[in-house]
């Protein structure tokens, strides 16, 4: 008897998520040291020293289960965002909250609409729940085509995801287009606005999705401690929505989904405004450097509002960079075989990438 006859067909049909290659793995494979990873949009600055100190202090307590309600973190964040505690849900990364949405709202016969290329977890959670993934191509500027997305909504549509800024293109949508889209969205469609990168945004007409979460029931704004806060390894993210929607997600989650260490670190990180400001500044400088240098190499890039940049380097570039000890994310799996996604690193990491790219170009390599 083969398990292939037992597995749910919509699970068997999934393409597993492809994470960036870990630094240690590449160093092992090539027998080198000092590889650079610019592949997973991690913070090059690292975590806040305040978060590190708070974690060190709590380590002797880890024989206790965490507070399943994230009391201290919830109180702090609700003051910060000026929302009530019942409007917040915490997850093991915002990835888990995507899973909770699928678990609570999607099943066979349902549809979920999202842009493509966008975050790879959307099709995984939608198809994993047995629902139909309706992916809508980005527009000519590689930004969300909100008009086309609105037209893709049917009576079967339960969820719509808007990734703003969008991963992997870095493009964002402005308030006018976003507000028009939300106003036209049927009231019974759940709107998920994934703002994993909102702290990096440069445009000044960025939409007020939190405001929509306050006024429009069935709106959830997702944010994370994995990117600007530099806590990706801990796994903690959150959602902001109306208490009814949050209540359904709460029913679907495990009681201790956010670890004790993660809760304490996230709460401390929230208080370190200087660290956030520094991370933003390092990113802005690195992004400007990469845009300029890639441009000088004749490599086209997408305008980015995030901590990464999509670059048209030609096919095979990610592999060539790997051989030189630089890990970037190949985009073939997103239907963009000519592109790589480069996370912004520290100045010396960005310079190393540019140096290798220049050498590859001059050497006639890809
Ligand atoms: C990184 C990322 C997330 C969240 O990651 P977690 O580590 O699970 O919080 C969510 N959405 C997008 C678009 C991302 O790029």
Whether ligand 1 lies within 6 angstroms of the CB of 172 is answered as no
Rounded Cα distance, 313 and 315, in Å: 7
Q: What is the pLDDT of residues 309-337, one digit of tens each?
A: 999 999 999 999 999 999 999 999 999 99
Q: What is the pLDDT of residues 110-152, one digit of tens each?
A: 999 999 999 999 999 999 999 999 999 999 999 999 999 999 9
* Choice between 8 and 53, residue whose per-residue pLDDT is larger: 53
Strands laid side by side in the 339-343 sheet: 300-301, 308-312, 339-343, 329-330
* pLDDT band, very low/low/confident/very high, at 366 (cuts 50, 70, 90): very low
Tell me which DSSP letter residue 199 carries: G
The string of DSSP letters for 214-238 reads HHSTTEEEEEESSSTT--TTT--EE
* pLDDT band, very low/low/confident/very high, at 364 (cuts 50, 70, 90): low
Q: Whose CA is nearest to atom 15 of ligand 1?
A: 167
Length of the chain equals: 366
* Choice between 361 and 152, residue whose per-residue pLDDT is larger: 152
Q: Whose CA is nearest to atom 9 of ligand 1?
A: 93
Determine the residue of 17, 18, 94 to mutate for testing ligand 1's pocket, defined as the one with the most ligand atoms within 8 A of the Cβ atom: 94
Is residue 365 over pLDDT 50? no
* Model pLDDT, residue 224: 98
* Model pLDDT, residue 241: 98
Q: Whose CA is nearest to atom 12 of ligand 1?
A: 196
For 129: left if phi > 0, alpha if psi spans -120 to 50, otherwise beta; the answer is alpha
Residue in this structure with the two tokens 């073939």, named with its chain if needed: 332
Task: Give the angle subtended at the CA of 352 by the CAs of 351 and 358, to the nearest 5°.
Answer: 85
CATH topology of domain 18-46+274-361: 3.90.1150
Predicted TM-score (pTM) of the model is 0.96
Whether ligand 1 lies within 6 angstroms of the CB of 118 is answered as no
CB neighbour burial string for 123-153, b if at least 16 within 10 angstroms, e if fewer? bbbbbbbbbbbbbbebeeebbbbbeebbebb
23-51: average pLDDT = 94
Determine the residue of 201, 227, 233 to mutate for testing ligand 1's pocket, defined as the one with the most ligand atoms within 8 A of the Cβ atom: 227
Rounded Cα distance, 156 and 110, in Å: 5
Rounded (10°) CA dihedral 129, 306, 294, 353: -80
Ligand 1 centroid to Cα of residue 365, in Å, is 33
Whether ligand 1 lies within 6 angstroms of the CB of 127 is answered as no
Whether ligand 1 lies within 6 angstroms of the CB of 93 is answered as yes
Q: What is the pLDDT of residues 184-229, one digit of tens each?
A: 999 999 999 999 999 999 999 999 999 999 999 999 999 999 999 9
75-80: average pLDDT = 98
- Listed in sequence order, the residues at least 6 apart from 117 whose beta carbon sits closer than 8 Å to its beta carbon are 138, 168, 169, 331, 334, 335, 336
Lowest mean pLDDT among 6-15, 66-75, 97-106: 6-15
* Choice between 312 and 19, residue whose per-residue pLDDT is larger: 312
- Cβ 294 vs Cβ 311: under 8 Å: yes
- Cβ 237 vs Cβ 88: under 8 Å: no
Residue in this structure with the two tokens 């994995």, named with its chain if needed: 226
144-164: average pLDDT = 98
- Listed in sequence order, the residues at least 6 apart from 287 whose beta carbon sits closer than 8 Å to its beta carbon are 304, 307, 309, 344
Atom of ligand 1 nearest to the CA of 237: 9
* pLDDT band, very low/low/confident/very high, at 20 (cuts 50, 70, 90): confident
Taking all residues of the chain, what is their mean pLDDT, rounded to a whole number? 96
* Model pLDDT, residue 194: 98
Copy the structure tokens of residue 16.
């597993």
* Model pLDDT, residue 181: 98
Task: Give the angle subtended at the CA of 291 by the CAs of 286 and 293, to the nearest 5°.
Answer: 90
Instruction: Give me the half-sphere count of Cα atoms (radius 13 Å) on the Cβ side of residue 46.
Output: 4
Residue in this structure with the two tokens 């964040």, named with its chain if needed: 77
Atom of ligand 1 nearest to the CA of 235: 7
Ligand 1 centroid to Cα of residue 168, in Å, is 11
Ligand 1 centroid to Cα of residue 139, in Å, is 22
Q: Where are the domains of the chain?
A: 18-46+274-361, 49-270
Neighbours of 53 (CB within 10 A): 13
Tell me which DSSP letter residue 23 carries: H
Instruction: Give me the half-sphere count of Cα atoms (radius 13 Å) on the Cβ side of residue 51.
Output: 28
Rounded Cα distance, 309 and 301, in Å: 7
Rounded Cα distance, 209 and 213, in Å: 6
Q: What is the pLDDT of residues 267-303, one digit of tens each?
A: 999 999 999 999 999 999 999 999 999 999 999 999 9
* Model pLDDT, residue 16: 82
Q: What is the CATH number of domain 49-270?
A: 3.40.640.10
Distance spanning both ends of the chain, measured CA to CA? 47
* Model pLDDT, residue 17: 82
Tell me which DSSP letter residue 322 carries: H
- Cβ 347 vs Cβ 286: under 8 Å: yes
The dihedrals phi and psi of 239, each to the nearest 5 degrees, come to: -125, 145
Q: What is the pLDDT of residues 242-270, one digit of tens each?
A: 999 999 999 999 999 999 999 999 999 99
């Amino acid at each position: 008897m083969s398990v292939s006859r037992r597995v749910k067909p919509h699970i068997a049909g999934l393409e597993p998520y492809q994470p960036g290659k870990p630094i240690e793995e590449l160093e092992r494979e090539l027998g080198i040291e000092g590889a650079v990873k610019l592949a997973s949009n991690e913070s090059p600055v690292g975590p806040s020293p305040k978060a590190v100190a708070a974690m060190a202090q709590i380590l002797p307590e880890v024989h206790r289960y965490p507070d399943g309600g994230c009391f201290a973190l919830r109180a702090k964040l609700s003051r910060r965002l000026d929302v009530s505690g019942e409007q917040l849900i915490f997850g093991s990364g915002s990835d888990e909250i995507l899973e909770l949405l699928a678990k609570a709202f999607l099943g066979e016969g349902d549809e979920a609409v999202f842009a493509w290329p966008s975050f790879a977890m959307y099709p995984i959670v939608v198809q994993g729940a047995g629902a139909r993934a309706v992916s809508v191509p980005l527009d000519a500027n590689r930004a969300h085509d909100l008009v086309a997305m609105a037209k893709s909504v049917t009576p079967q549509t339960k969820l719509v995801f808007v990734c703003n800024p969008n991963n992997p293109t870095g493009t964002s949508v402005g308030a006018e287009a976003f507000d028009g889209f939300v106003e036209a969205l049927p009231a019974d469609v759940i709107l998920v606005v994934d703002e994993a990168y909102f702290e990096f945004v440069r445009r000044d007409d960025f939409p007020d999705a939190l405001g929509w979460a306050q006024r429009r029931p069935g709106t959830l704004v997702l944010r994370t401690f994995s990117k600007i806060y530099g806590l990706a390894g801990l796994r903690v993210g959150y959602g902001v929505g109306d208490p009814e929607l949050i209540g359904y997600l709460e029913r679907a989650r495990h009681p201790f989904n956010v670890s004790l260490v993660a809760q304490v670190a996230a709460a401390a990180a929230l208080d370190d405004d200087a660290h956030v400001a520094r991370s933003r500044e390092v990113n802005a400088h690195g992004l400007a450097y990469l845009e300029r240098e890639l441009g000088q190499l004749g490599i086209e890039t997408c305008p980015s509002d995030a901590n990464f940049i999509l670059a048209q380097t030609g096919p095979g570039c990610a592999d060539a960079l790997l051989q030189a000890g630089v890990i970037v994310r190949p985009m073939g799996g997103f239907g963009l075989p000519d592109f790589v996604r480069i996370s912004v690193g520290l100045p010396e990491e960005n310079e190393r990438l540019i140096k290798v790219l220049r050498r590859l170009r001059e050497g006639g390599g890809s």
